[in-house]
Amino acid sequence: MDLNKKIIIITGASSGIGKALSKELALNGAIIVCTARSKDQLDIVRDEIISLGGESISIQTDVTDINQCIEMKNKVLEEYGRIDAIILNAGVSMWAKFDEIENVEFFKDIMDVNFHGAVNCVHAVIGEIKKTNGKIISCSSGQALMGIPYHSGYVASKHALHGFISTIALENKNQISVLELVLSWIRDTNLRNNSYNESGNQRLKSDRKHSKESISLDECIKHIIKAIKNDKSIAYIPSKLSLIPFLKLFFNRFLESLIIKKVKENKRKEN
């Protein structure tokens, strides 16, 4: 995809991957529509893009509200007349063993943001993206491919998103392109800090450290930009995540024992 002057909507653009990706896409010539629930943070990202010589607008949007997603689409069309791509980045996580959770009500919040939020956004803009033969980009996870302890609700939401995006790609083949970003072990984002705990509260701060397999946010963004430019349909970031489908098929017991070991190591670091 040639990024020059492309109108790209990014959800969850106020921090982390969304913020960094917005700025880097703008440096590559794209016109960025920053969306998230936090207007103040969105405006900061928009202003930073403009100060770097890019073009951007910010639209406060709660992706869990379909009407706000439709309103966001209409504002983009009023401003630019078309939509070339949307990046589904808004997300929340968790870190809690299922049988230790006091109330599973927060699972609805996770599904609303991670899955229903993506459905709402795609439903709002897919007609416009088909007009430009544009692109839908999903920020997925290695947890969309297998179960991970302490992440049951998050895993479920990412499995649902993976199935949804795969179906959208098949239904609209040759009309739009779809890129699924399978991400994990990314440092310098707020996803862990905002994850739900056993009490159903967001942590606001996490002492858990990333493992040595993690990559920096800057490196992650470079891989995403490359995948978009090269019209990939899937990108594993870091690349070792591409081994998951193979290991799950032929060495599933080994993969499960490896995952359990890594999670236990991570939990010990937290304690």
Q: Give the residue numbers marked as catalytic.
A: 154
Taking a C-beta distance cutoff of 8 angstroms, is the pair 217, 188 a contact? yes
With both helix axes pointing from N to C terminus, report the angle between 39-51 and 16-27 in degrees, rounded to the nearest 10: 30
Answer yes or no: are the C-beta atoms of 11 and 89 closer than 8 Å: yes
> CB of 32 within 8 A of CB of 22?
yes
- In three-state secondary structure terms, 55 is strand
Strand-strand pairing, 85-88 and 55-60: unpaired
Largest CA distance in the chain: 53
| 8 Å CB contact between 259 and 253 | no
Tokens of residue 95, six digits: 């870190």
Which two tokens mark 175?
């009309």
Please tell me the distance from the alpha carbon of residue 200 to that of residue 103, in angstroms, as a whole number. 7
Between the alpha carbon of residue 42 and those of residues 22, 23, 46, 60, 146, the distances in Å are 11, 12, 6, 7, 33
How far is the C-alpha of 167 from the C-alpha of 172, rounded, in Å?
9
Q: For strand 85-88 and strand 7-11, is the pairing parallel, antiparallel, or unpaired?
A: parallel
3-state helix, strand, coil in the chain (%, to 5): 50, 15, 35
